[in-house]
A and B are shown apart, each in its own frame.
Chain A
Amino acid sequence: MTIEVKNIVKKFGSFAALDNVDLKVDQGELLALLGPSGSGKTTLLRIIAGLDWPDAGEVLIDGENALARGASERHVGFVFQHYALFRHMTVFENVAFGLRVQPRAIRKDEATIRARVKELLDLVQLDWLSDRYPSQLSGGQRQRIALARALAIEPRILLLDEPFGALDAKVRKELRQWLRSLHNEIHVTSIFVTHDQEEALEVANRVVVMDKGRIEQIGSPGEVYDNPATAFVHGFIGESIVLPVDVSGGSVRLGGRPLNIAANGAASGASKLFVRRHDMQIGPAGSGSLEGAVRHVRSFGPIQRAEVALSGGEGKTIIEIDAPRDRELQAGEIVSLQPRRYRIFAAQD
């Protein structure tokens, strides 16, 4: 099933939670809505589910106007951050709920319902918990039951609101891979909301980066990481070094000193230079366009992270760079730095 969102506007009082949002989700996609809190991603998800209503705009599910139907008629599976399992029902009854509340005319008989619930509990590998109550389960188990419950109604689309947000880091990582493989198996068009970039990049086919009620960029995980469309995306995804620079006539200056890099068509004026930590080439003093003193070096895994105090310019600018382990760095050493890959965006504020 496809989902199409057109010109959605949603205001809470004078605060615009969603400001003219357009989005198209293709059949079978696993899409991530990524953004900081308050970016409107959960609101967008709730509007698609029918749990919130937009002030303007259209929502089409499979080409059909979804806003003409209430949440109970949209046939949308929704998984909540805090699971929202029915606390007075067993795991089995939780999963069976969607089947039991169907109109009498299409409701399955008890044996079919039991078989279906069993099948779903097997799918999420928790059939041995079917007589427990939600309060007796761990967070990861609860979330998988919530997913089984949502899948019971054979939803046209699956929406997950920060599905792993309430879990601890280890469980979260495992459930991520599990969701990925589950999606490979059942191929239902899915959208999940997250503020965790790693989660979005690792799980989704496509990532929608949102900020302040607007979509900043839509693209594959590789695209949004390697070719951020805006300063916000560059700053939000991956760790970046940000330096205030001046662009004039194709040359880039930092605190008055020219940097030996091309402006790449950036407009003249106050700008920001974004460089990934590992894209800063380290060389002997005098070999690059930036220079600084190493203040501190920490080594872990394949990299060493160095704190460098840039010399020149007004005040002291301290940046963190990642260098390969084979380049010995000492605290106090003067090094030169040269951005290998970088982006320049106009400074907005």
Chain B
Amino acid sequence: MSTQSSVVTSATELRAYAPTADLTVSPPPSRIERARPRTGTSPDNLRTEPGPVRFIIISLAVTFLSVFVVLPLVVVFASAFSKGIGAYLVALAEPEALSAIKLTLLVAAISVTLNLVFGVIAAWAIAKFDFTGKTFLITLIDLPFSVSPVISGLVFVLLFGAQGFFGTWLQAHDIHILFAVPGIALATIFVTFPFVARALIPLMQEQGTQEEEAAISLGASGLQTFFRVTLPNIKWGLLYGVLLCNARAMGEFGAVSVVSGHIRGETNTMPLLVEILYNEYQFVASFAIASLLAMLALITLVVKTVLERRLDEGQEPRDH
């Protein structure tokens, strides 16, 4: 018994519409599912590399990952709980810690929401329309990825700082952007902008505009088309983008550090507080906050895996 194959046919006979004619519509070209060849030889013999080589390569990869990824994670949690769970909880209940958590959540909520809207709009424009300057726009979307976050923060200082471009005007109107929530949110938005758009553009390009055209020809308005056809088709990609955007928004350090001003209990986000506490030798408190960020990373990783699976499923049933 060398090869096994099974042919799946769905013998569906359809009556023809015409009352006079007796037509049959045959089923689609049947999908032939082939089982893998099962041969008498052991699977090991089919591999190209000899055992020792495989062993060395796999151990190298595992060692590398352990040292550079798993070990730091373990250290974070070990340090956080080094003085017992009581000390850990006390550290998290500090007003400074609570304020940092609140600020981080607030900034993430603002920047994810705005980037969701702008990301969808940008992806829509790029995927569904042809216009001059499209390539330029795609490059522009990637800009935050290629610029150092510190520079991104500095741009906002140059714009809104006391000596900045809008500085005098803002001071005259008593509007605080730098060293306040708006500045932190702006810097975060800038840094995290590409995530949603990047997740959606290839997806929307692949899906094309036919379903939208069909919806419009059936009488749907632009909004109906978006909410009933476009959005359901991109929802997993959108969630994927939002997830990564959120992870980066909560974890951003560089850009936020430049615009925050480090006012204790007011403009410190979680990553900033981790650094401050560490510099003050409050290791338990510092690693307690860090453990929250690490947990966020782990959750993100799990959800990301699930979403990627959904995305693959969404792509699959297409044959042209």
Give residues in A with beta carbon < 8 Å to B.
49-51, 70-78, 80, 82, 84-88, 97-98, 101-102, 123-126, 133-141, 146, 149-150, 152-153, 166, 168, 170-171, 174-175, 177-178, 181-182, 184-185
Contacts and interface: CB of A to CB of B under 8 A. Distances in A.
B318 interface: yes
Nearest to A133: B317
B95 interface: no
B28 to A, nearest CB: 3
B23 A177 contact: yes
A72 B16 contact: no
B25 interface: yes
Contacts of B218: 72, 97-98, 101, 149-150, 152-153
B213 A78 contact: yes
Listed residue (A97, A141, A149) with the most chain B CB atoms within 10 angstroms of its CB: A97
A178 B16 contact: yes
Task: Say whether chain B's binding surface is mostly helix, strand, loop, or mixed.
Answer: loop
Given A84-B211, A97-B215, 14 more contacts: A51-B216, A71-B213, A73-B219, A85-B214, A86-B215, A86-B228, A87-B211, A87-B318, A98-B219, A101-B215, A135-B317, A138-B28, A146-B214, A181-B21
Contact of A51 (B28, B217, B316): B217
B319 to A, nearest CB: 8
Interface residues of B, number: 36
Nearest to B10: A138
B52 to A, nearest CB: 46
Given A49-B217, A51-B213, A181 B17 contact: yes
A80 B317 CA distance: 18
B35 interface: no
Contacts of B14: 125-126
B320 A177 contact: no
Nearest to A51: B213
14 contacts: A51-B213, A86-B215, A87-B211, A98-B218, A101-B224, A101-B228, A124-B17, A125-B14, A125-B15, A126-B14, A134-B317, A136-B317, A174-B23, A178-B18
Interface in B1-32: 12, 14-18, 20-21, 23-29
A301 B317 CA distance: 41
A102 B219 contact: yes
